[in-house]
């Protein structure tokens, strides 16, 4: 389901991933989340892009988090919970949106978007795994990444990034951002 067909909820709050603001450096993220289990260097994907993968717990639930950087700045985080129960999925979603102004869990469908201040958003997808994406609203980052995506589209290494972000780049470029 593309982003434009998902129910969207507008909130006045700013969106953060684990209290980390968009634009944070790699060092700031590692200081907050600890050492990653895997690092994806920028030379392995798109020029200027790198990612850190963390395994952590949300309550007692195992979560894989991938934090993406472009030109050394945080722009996208993705959390994946494989085969969660309904209660585990609800718990993770509540943890993701708890600091946002009154988003009712019951109103969030299988796929929803909560858009916050400055155009940043949290995208929730319960289709197979639970996937929660924290997406910057910085237009300049998305314009640069869209340009990089077009230049790199034929490279097989770039195609490996599909799961972790290129679909979001495409979706993000199709959706008008909040002013």
Euclidean distance between CA atoms 83 and 153, whole angstroms: 31
Euclidean distance between CA atoms 55 and 62, whole angstroms: 7
Q: Full-prediction pTM beyond 0.85? A: no
pLDDT at 36: 94
pLDDT at 4: 46
pLDDT at 30: 95
Contacts of 145 (CB under 8 A, 6+ apart): 46, 49, 70, 75, 169
pLDDT at 31 over 60: yes
- 3-state secondary structure at position 70: strand
Do the bridges between strand 111-115 and strand 8-10 make them parallel or antiparallel, or are there none, so unpaired?
parallel
- 3-state secondary structure at position 64: strand
pLDDT at 21 over 60: yes
Euclidean distance between CA atoms 69 and 67, whole angstroms: 7
């Amino acid at each position: 389901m593309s982003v434009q067909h998902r129910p969207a909820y507008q909130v006045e709050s700013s969106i953060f991933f684990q209290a980390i603001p968009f634009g944070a450096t790699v060092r700031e993220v590692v200081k907050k989340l600890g050492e990653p289990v895997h690092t994806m260097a920028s030379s392995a994907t798109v020029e200027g892009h790198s990612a850190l993968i963390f395994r952590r717990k949300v309550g007692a639930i195992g979560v894989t988090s991938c934090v993406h950087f472009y030109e050394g700045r945080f722009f996208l985080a993705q959390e994946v919970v494989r085969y969660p129960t309904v209660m585990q999925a609800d718990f993770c979603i509540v943890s993701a949106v708890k600091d946002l102004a009154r988003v009712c869990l019951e109103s969030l469908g299988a796929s929803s978007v909560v858009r916050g201040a400055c155009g940043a958003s949290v995208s929730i997808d319960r289709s197979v795994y639970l996937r929660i994406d924290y997406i910057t609203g910085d237009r300049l980052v998305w314009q640069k990444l869209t340009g990089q995506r077009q230049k790199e589209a034929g490279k097989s290494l770039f195609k490996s990034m599909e799961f972790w972000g290129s679909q979001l780049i495409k979706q993000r470029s199709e959706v008008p951002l909040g002013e």
